């Protein structure tokens, strides 16, 4: 558990984005219930009225025979932003949209996560690094 305090000021958050590109391909799936994914590693999930929406590595969805979205790349904004900070989601999604990149944002307790079409991952990383004033080297984990 982190003892750092979350950052609330948008300008400070933006200057510390430190985007990290995860290895692998990720997809969204809708499952009828939690039982459908018992024992399976989920990257993220949320219960909706229509079923359990999950984000998993593409190879897992393929192995399970699940219908899924197009392949996405996962980028973590490695800044500890406050859940009450105003403007981060709008700034990031607007920047990507202005450059023709769709994005799906998921907020975690410590970090924000962005899923972009796999073919747009390098451009998305470049734009996020430029936004934060960082060098252009793409880090992957």
For the stretch 36-88, pLDDT in tens is: 888 899 999 999 999 999 999 999 999 999 999 999 999 999 999 999 999 99
Please give the domain boundaries of the chain with CATH numbers for all domains: 1-25+71-141 (3.30.2130.10), 26-69 (no CATH)
Segment 83-120, tens digit of pLDDT: 999 999 999 999 999 999 999 999 999 999 999 999 99
Q: Do 126 and 136 form a contact (C-beta atoms < 8 A)?
A: yes
Helix ranges (DSSP H) in 4-134: 10-15, 58-64, 88-98, 121-132
Angle made by CA atoms 78, 45, 51, in degrees to the nearest 5: 155
Please list the residues that pair with 45 across neighbouring strands: 54
The residue with greater pLDDT, 2 or 76, is 76
Question: pTM for the whole thing?
Answer: 0.89
Please report the sign of the dihedral spanned by the C-alpha atoms of residue 53, residue 54, residue 55, residue 61.
negative
């Amino acid at each position: 558990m982190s003892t750092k305090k979350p950052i609330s000021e948008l300008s400070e958050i933006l200057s510390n984005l430190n985007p990290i590109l995860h290895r692998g391909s990720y997809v969204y799936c809708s499952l009828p219930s939690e039982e459908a994914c018992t024992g399976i590693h989920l990257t993220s999930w949320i219960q909706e009225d229509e079923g359990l929406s999950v984000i998993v590595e593409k190879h897992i969805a393929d192995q399970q025979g699940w219908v899924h979205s197009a392949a996405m790349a996962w980028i973590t904004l490695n800044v500890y932003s406050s859940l009450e900070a105003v403007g981060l989601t709008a700034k990031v999604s607007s920047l990507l949209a202005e450059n023709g990149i769709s994005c799906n944002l998921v907020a975690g307790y410590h970090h924000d996560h962005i899923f972009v079409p796999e073919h747009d991952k390098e451009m998305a990383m470049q734009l996020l690094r430029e936004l934060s004033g960082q060098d252009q080297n793409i880090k992957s984990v």
